[in-house]
């Protein structure tokens, strides 16, 4: 079995988790909408992840909607004591599968309650506020965040924390300014943004959070690459004998000790490949070549 602990651990709230976790988004149907294509395969992936040592699962009740949380409960409840389940709120799904903002106090409270009910939990360990401002889908157009104040919705989440429904608060799809604003309102234990070899806008933010002991959780490890950048990654991966995804994950693990990974898949075979990335040690020449992908994009 792969040694997930080889890549180290990091603090997430008042818990310590292995740095390679699992993201449940891909367990839902096409477009993260509706049931999975293969229900039994989805259950198998979740069980394999935990059996392999994964102790950090990222989900949301708007995946499906409600699909991934119900699958997690079916597969894993009662949960292992060391399992940390992280969710996000701030969006809802239209009947056509569209992504819509859900930032009103009533919507945010209902979202937390829905996550608790569908997961079978009394309190959420970490809830990320997914920021959707001036956009009709998570990610602000393609994947990037949109600027604007988050004081009102974050205050609602902080109140739910005081009520005991949420232990810790994080931010998702946030700009550095929003992270700074958020940290002035509540203790922020993690930031979940788009970041990878080619998409390096958060370099300074990652280093700032690392200095303060705050986890950074990148999503889309292969998202936003140009054909040239993909070609470079493919060439390095082929030379090393790994998949491009494995190399991209290994680079992220090396990038900063506060980075926690949540690669998602609906395949047990791909899950095993992703988990194996925790054991990859990239040689210096490969690191230099991979670093060049981000520099070329700057």
CB of 220 within 8 A of CB of 173?
no
d(CA 140, CA 133) in angstroms, rounded, equals 7
Assigned domain for 284 exists: no
For residues 74 and 36, the answer to whether their CB atoms sit within 8 Å is no
CA dist 55 → 170, 237, 240, 268, 297 (Å)? 18, 27, 28, 17, 34
12 within domain boundaries: yes
Please state, as a whole number, how many other Cβ atoms lie within 10 Å of the Cβ of residue 8: 12
Quote the domain boundaries for residue 116.
Answer: 4-224+257-268
Residue 241 in domain: no
10 is catalytic: no
Does the residue 186 lie in any domain? yes
Q: How confident is the model over 269-290, as a mean pLDDT? A: 97
Record the tokens describing residue 116, joined without a space.
């608790």
Let me know: does 173 contact 131? Beta carbons within 8 Å.
Answer: yes
- Domain assignment present for residue 49? The answer is yes
**Residue 98 belongs to some domain of the structure:** yes
pLDDT tens for each residue of 83-126: 999 999 999 999 999 999 999 999 999 999 999 999 999 999 99
Tell me the whole-structure pTM to 2 decimals. Answer: 0.95
Which of 10, 63, 195, 216 is the catalytic position? 63
Helix (H, G, I), strand (E, B) or coil at 27: helix
The DSSP letter of residue 30 is G
DSSP secondary structure letter of residue 14:
T
Beta carbons within 10 angstroms of residue 157's beta carbon: 27
In tens, the pLDDT along 194-245 reads 999 999 999 999 999 999 999 999 999 999 999 999 999 999 999 999 999 9
Q: Please give the tally of structural domains in the chain.
A: 1
Taking the C-alpha atoms of residue 155 and residue 227, their distance in angstroms, rounded to an integer, is 42
What's 68's domain CATH number? 3.20.20.100
């Amino acid at each position: 079995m792969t040694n997930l602990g080889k890549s180290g651990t990091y603090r997430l709230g008042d818990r310590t988790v292995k740095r390679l976790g699992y993201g449940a988004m891909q367990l839902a149907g096409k477009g993260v909408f509706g049931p999975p294509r293969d229900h039994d395969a989805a259950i198998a992936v979740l069980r394999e992840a935990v059996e392999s040592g994964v102790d950090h699962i990222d989900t949301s009740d708007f995946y499906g909607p409600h699909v991934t949380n119900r699958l997690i409960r079916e597969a894993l409840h009662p949960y292992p004591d060391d399992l940390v389940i992280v969710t996000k709120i701030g969006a809802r799904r239209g009947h056509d599968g569209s992504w819509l903002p859900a930032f009103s106090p009533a919507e945010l409270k209902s979202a937390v309650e829905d996550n608790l009910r569908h997961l079978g939990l009394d309190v959420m360990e970490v809830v990320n506020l997914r920021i959707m401002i001036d956009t009709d889908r998570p990610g602000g157009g393609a994947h990037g965040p949109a600027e604007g104040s988050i004081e009102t919705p974050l205050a609602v989440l902080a109140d739910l924390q005081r009520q005991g429904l949420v232990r810790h608060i994080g931010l998702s799809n946030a700009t550095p300014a929003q992270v700074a604003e958020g940290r002035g309102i509540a203790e922020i234990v993690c930031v979940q943004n788009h970041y990878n070899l080619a998409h390096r806008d958060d370099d300074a933010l990652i280093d700032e959070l690392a200095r303060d002991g705050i986890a950074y959780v990148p999503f889309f490890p292969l998202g936003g690459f140009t054909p040239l950048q993909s070609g470079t990654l493919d060439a390095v991966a082929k030379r090393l004998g790994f998949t491009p995804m494995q190399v991209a994950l290994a680079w992220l693990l090396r990038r900063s000790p506060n980075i926690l990974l949540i690669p998602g898949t609906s395949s047990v075979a791909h899950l095993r490949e992703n988990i194996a990335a925790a054991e990859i040690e990239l040689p210096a020449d490969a690191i230099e070549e991979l670093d060049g992908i981000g520099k070329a994009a700057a």
